[in-house]
């Protein structure tokens, strides 16, 4: 255990029987799986987002890079932490180990969105939605394979900002001119300029080793009105990681998303087919952020000798991507789409106009 940092863990022992307490969404509190003892987790909603122009995040990189281990409070085993976990189930005795907050380097989470249902309900929701998805193969829907369900919180940052942008550019659209034999399509260019004000709210950037931003967006939306102040007790029963980059990098990502939002909002004002050029000059104010833990269930299963991993929003139950797709259905729809475009053209060629 040389060169490995030892982290303290907080207790999750049942006061009645000494087994491990886990968070139970249905009970909105902790529950002992052995004797049924319950403990309410009092929630609060006092934290506010904080400004992000002056965040010092120097400690995080060294912490992320270093090896870390924790001694299980129940059985005394040493557990290596692989992915900057701050909450982990002991592989030897199944009790929960949540790293004490004093031992977590970098920013501490301010908010959390709670799981609203347990694993059993998650599986029922999974089956129900998969059956309604058109592109999922029918044999899969009929006999959904054995799943391995895991609940985890992923670290993310939620940003707010207000922007004012001045822009100018040149767009174009296609217009048809003339009739019958003389019908043709022309490209019409036009200049645009103006200003745009935009309120960016709850823009989420993920920072976990398990999810990509794309996979996250497939589970949108989350209802941020229901976020609560972070408490370590919520983590009992889930695998949770500390964020895996430096805060600066996360800010770079959100600025990219902000710019995208601004560009889309500008272009929505016009009727156009293409963009030749669009220069946007933005200034930002009221920049706030919150570090937040987001609930996700993952479903791991095999189908036709292939491994699949599908995610579900742990607040709303919405299933994300990553499901098996029927190639026949996709091919059929592509042909159908082609026909819809092609048939009128062919008819016009045959019968003239
Ligand atoms: Zn107990
Ligand atoms: Zn243990």
Q: What is the per-residue pLDDT across 200-257, written as a single tens digit (0 to 9) for each?
A: 999 999 998 888 889 999 999 999 999 999 999 999 999 999 998 999 999 999 999 9
Cα–Cα distances (Å) from 311 to 11, 156, 316, in that order, read 29, 16, 12
Cα(162) to centroid(ligand 1), Å: 50
Cα(151) to centroid(ligand 1), Å: 22
List of residues 6+ apart from 225 with CB closer than 8 A: none
DSSP assigned state of 220: -
Q: What is the per-residue pLDDT across 109-157, written as a single tens digit (0 to 9) for each?
A: 999 999 999 999 999 999 999 999 888 889 888 888 888 999 999 999 9
The domain ranges of the chain are: 4-156+207-244+294-322, 326-353
Residue 308 contacts residue 302 (beta carbons within 8 Å): yes
Q: How far apart are CA 332 and CA 135, in angstroms?
A: 11
Neighbours of ion ligand 2 (CB under 5 A): 72, 74-75, 77, 90, 92-93
Instruction: Starting from the CA of residue 19, give the closest ligand.
Output: 1
Pairing of strands 274-303, 111-112: parallel
**Highest mean predicted confidence (pLDDT) among 70-79, 97-106, 126-135, 287-296:** 287-296
Cα(8) to centroid(ligand 2), Å: 14
pTM across the whole model: 0.86
**Highest mean predicted confidence (pLDDT) among 98-102, 133-137, 259-263, 326-330:** 259-263
Residue 2, pLDDT score:
58
Cα(236) to centroid(ligand 2), Å: 14
Cα(70) to centroid(ligand 2), Å: 10
Residue (of 252, 111, 265, 278) closest to 192 by Cα position: 278
Q: What is the per-residue pLDDT across 25-35, written as a single tens digit (0 to 9) for each?
A: 999 999 998 99
Residue 255, pLDDT score:
95
Residue 345, pLDDT score:
73
Residue 50 β-bridge partners:
289
Which residue has tokens 């659209």? Answer: 173
Residue 321, pLDDT score:
85
Instruction: Starting from the CA of residue 33, give the closest ligand.
Output: 1
Q: What is the per-residue pLDDT across 173-203, written as a single tens digit (0 to 9) for each?
A: 999 988 888 889 999 999 999 999 999 999 9
Residue 144 contacts residue 299 (beta carbons within 8 Å): no
Q: Helical H runs in the chain?
A: 59-65, 119-132, 138-142, 213-217, 247-267, 327-351
């Amino acid at each position: 255990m040389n060169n490995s940092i030892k982290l303290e863990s907080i207790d999750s022992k049942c006061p009645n029987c000494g087994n491990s307490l886990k968070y139970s969404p249905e009970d909105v509190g902790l529950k002992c799986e052995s004797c049924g003892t319950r403990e309410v987790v009092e929630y609060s909603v006092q934290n506010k987002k904080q400004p992000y122009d002056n965040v010092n995040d120097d400690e995080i990189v060294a912490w992320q890079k270093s090896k870390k281990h924790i001694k299980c409070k129940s059985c005394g085993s040493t557990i290596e932490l692989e992915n900057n976990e701050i909450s982990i189930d002991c592989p030897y005795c199944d009790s929960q180990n949540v790293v004490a907050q004093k031992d977590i380097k970098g920013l501490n989470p301010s908010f959390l969105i709670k799981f609203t249902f347990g694993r059993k309900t998650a599986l029922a929701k999974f089956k129900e939605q998969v059956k309604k998805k058109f592109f999922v193969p029918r044999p899969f829907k009929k006999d959904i394979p054995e799943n391995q369900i895991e609940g985890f919180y992923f670290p993310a940052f939620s940003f707010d900002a207000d922007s004012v942008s001045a822009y100018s550019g040149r767009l174009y659209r296609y217009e048809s001119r003339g009739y019958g034999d003389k019908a043709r399509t022309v490209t019409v260019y036009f200049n645009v300029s103006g200003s745009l004000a935009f309120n960016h709210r709850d823009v989420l950037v993920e920072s976990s080793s398990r999810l990509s931003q794309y996979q996250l967006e497939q589970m949108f939306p989350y209802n941020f009105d229901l976020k609560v102040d972070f408490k370590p007790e919520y983590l009992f029963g889930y695998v949770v990681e500390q964020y895996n980059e430096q805060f600066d990098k996360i800010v770079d990502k959100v600025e990219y998303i902000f710019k995208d939002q601004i560009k889309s909002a500008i272009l929505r004002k016009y009727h156009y087919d293409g963009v030749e050029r669009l220069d946007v000059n933005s200034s930002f104010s009221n920049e706030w952020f919150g570090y937040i833990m987001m609930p996700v269930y993952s479903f791991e299963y095999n189908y036709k000798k292939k491994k699949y991993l599908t995610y579900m929003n742990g607040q709303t139950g919405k299933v994300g991507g990553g499901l098996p797709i029927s190639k026949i259905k996709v091919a059929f729809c592509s042909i159908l789409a082609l026909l819809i475009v092609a048939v009128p053209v062919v008819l016009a060629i045959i019968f003239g106009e």
